[in-house]
Amino acid sequence: TEKAFEYCCVSADQIMSGILSNNMTLGITWGAAMETYCKILSPRQLYNVNVVQMVGCLGTGNPHMDGLELAIHISRKLGGTYSNIYAPIYVDNELVHSYLINENQIKASLRRACQTDVVLTGVGSLDSDTALQQAGYWTDKDRVYLKGKGAVGHILARPIDINGNEVAFDDRYVVGAPLSAMQSPEWTVGIATSAKKAGAAIAACRGGYINTLVVDQALALAALQLLDDLE
């Protein structure tokens, strides 16, 4: 429910308030969880904090849930700076992808995204209401194809299976940090609600992409049941 979603974001803010300090780099993604978190984020004045957009733009028409705007708003609330990726999440041409990730501004942002101290992210599902489909990047056919290859969710716009392994997605080149960028920060905080994201949440934890997960009761119970089934 919406109330549970907001409660999880408040809990995440409480966790983040104990983590964030001066001279840190905070990596963020996009989506509904990040939008809600941004709204309830407690303003604080920190020194030399840089907020990094880790993946390209959703382009949903709702700027409040896109990485560009979120990085700007969060950096303002923290009294810091931001680094954005002015490019779409996916491109379908390898040459175009190579050009984009080597463009000076994008290259600098990606370098920072791979050297974060803390990451805050939502957890992507393979349902039709996932932000990637709402933004037009995925279709029903794409989701069926990915599920057939074992995908259960996505992190950084990269499909993953139940063990957290990246699932290859032909001709979809991500303009963003690799999944390995989620494994090096001391803190990677994930926000997820609803039972349908149980598989994705488990996969993200198993892959080492999230080490602190904030969930609602429905997801927690579904995840416990799924883990029992997997044994």
pLDDT in tens, the chain (231 residues): 678 888 999 999 999 999 999 999 999 998 888 888 998 988 888 999 999 999 999 876 666 667 788 999 999 999 999 999 999 999 999 999 999 999 999 999 999 999 999 999 999 999 988 889 888 899 999 999 999 999 999 999 999 999 999 999 988 999 999 999 999 999 999 999 999 999 999 999 999 999 999 999 999 999 999 999 887
Is residue 174 within 8 A of residue 151, CB to CB? The reply is no
Phi-psi region of 128 (alpha: psi -120 to 50; beta: other; left: phi over 0): alpha
Query: How far, in whole angstroms, is CA 42 from its chain's centroid?
Result: 20
The pair of three-digit structure tokens given for residue 130, joined into one six-digit string? 């996932």
Q: Which element (helix H / strand E) includes 71?
A: helix 67-78
